[in-house]
Amino acid sequence: MSANQEHMAHGHSGHHDAHHEHGHMHADHGSLKSYATGFILAVILTAIPFWLVMGKVFDKSSTTGFILLGFAAVQIVVHMVYFLHMNTKSEGGWSMLALLFTGMLVFIMMSGSLWVMYHLNHNMMPGMMHETETKPESISVMPMPATQSTPASSPLPAPDNLKTMPSMQ
């Protein structure tokens, strides 16, 4: 008699066996060794960028920034694998698929936001452009007409005719 037939003979249903098999598909929740490995990698991946910034290893700050982003990406993967126990086998791969979808959405939203902010800054702040760029005619300084250049024809009082405001003490 097989093991399954013995379970059926003792009143155990096939559903109960399926539940036990399903329980064995869960991902391992880690051991002390895997947590220690993750912790050591996280410390190393934090200490190296700290040294790169504090020691001013690279001349260009943009190079340092890109290298820091690379270390940050590697550290995210270390945290996901060693502490969140994410892999392609856990939960039938759905957690990895959800992570990829979330990463894609974050990338689209961040790049779209940066693109919109760059173009808003460029199009809405023409007075803040660099001196090397040409300014549109609409914001160039226009000379005042000759009729308003004399103080007698000006609608505003001359500065010596202004009265001081009384204090509110």
pLDDT by residue (tens digit) across 124-166? 866 666 555 565 565 655 566 555 555 555 555 555 655 666 6
Same domain, 42 and 75: yes
Distance CA 84, CA 79 (A): 7
Same domain, 102 and 116: yes
Whether 109 maps to a domain, the answer reads yes
> Could you tell me if 52 and 59 are in contact, meaning their C-beta atoms sit under 8 angstroms apart?
no
What average pLDDT does this structure show over 89-105? 83
Distance CA 166, CA 169 (A): 9
Radius of gyration of the CA atoms of the chain, in A = 35
Same domain, 79 and 116: no
Q: Model confidence over 33-76: pLDDT tens digits?
A: 999 999 999 999 999 999 999 999 999 988 999 999 999 999 99
Better-predicted residue by pLDDT, 39 or 11: 39
Same domain, 16 and 41: no
Q: H or E stretch including 94?
A: helix 94-124
> Could you tell me if 53 and 68 are in contact, meaning their C-beta atoms sit under 8 angstroms apart?
yes
Whether 68 maps to a domain, the answer reads yes
What average pLDDT does this structure show over 108-119? 92
- Burial of 90: CB neighbours in 10 Å, binned 0-12, 13-18, 19+: middle
Q: Structurally, how many domains does the chain consist of?
A: 3
Same domain, 52 and 72: yes
Report pLDDT for 18.
46
How many CB atoms are closer than 10 A to CB 169?
A: 3
